[in-house]
A and B are shown apart, each in its own frame.
Chain A
């Protein structure tokens, strides 16, 4: 199975900050990498697919980059509604696997 490792596990930030989360795959997944946002008690939300394609309706302050084994999710200017957990997922090979998640908390 492909292992997905996210860092950091959590981070504290303020509104307006630039936030960067990384995800590393245990093998080359080309750009088959998705990012999701999850708030407690809510349905997870697809933000980015194929590493850098913004899902329809997602604000442009979210962006993704990377290929191969190393990927990054960037939130350009953190908004109050962005405090949540973010997780990556590889869609290269079954079983589909996920990172542990990164919790973005209020500083």
Chain B
């Protein structure tokens, strides 16, 4: 069965970087685009960007361009999201999600369980 398992919670200081992982299993890793999203406390979900696990190319929401990098490792079927220059407003639960094939674009058919990132001095 399809599983997306994310790395554990992180606590970071302002100005630091964080790297969250999402390990996929149960399907052909390179077939499906993968997305990163986040949800700050009391807020709705926010889309951050997507990566093509096949070629490694990534597209970012304008808000995160220059501060976020999305990469993948095909040998371990894992994608990564790195965010730099963290600030308190980046405290949120970060999710990876798979974009379904044969479904409209940006229809997320499987999600990770979420990774809590806390930015605090």
Contact = CB atoms under 8 A, between A and B. Distances in A.
Contact of B107 (A43, A44, A49, A98): A49
B44 A101 contact: yes
Nearest to A41: B113
Nearest to A36: B108
B112 interface: yes
A5 B62 CA distance: 22
B61 interface: yes
Task: Determine chain A's interface SS by DSSP, over half rule.
Answer: loop
Q: How large is the interface on B (under 10, 10 to 19, 20 to 34, 35 or more residues)?
A: 20 to 34
A74 interface: no
Q: How large is the interface on A (under 10, 10 to 19, 20 to 34, 35 or more residues)?
A: 20 to 34
A80 interface: no
The residue in A4, A43, A99, A101 that gathers the most chain B C-beta atoms within 10 A of its C-beta is A43
A46 B109 contact: yes
19 contacts: A4-B44, A32-B104, A41-B113, A41-B114, A43-B4, A43-B112, A43-B113, A44-B111, A45-B111, A46-B107, A46-B110, A49-B103, A87-B44, A89-B106, A89-B108, A91-B107, A95-B63, A97-B47, A98-B44
Interface string A81-103: 00000010101001111111100
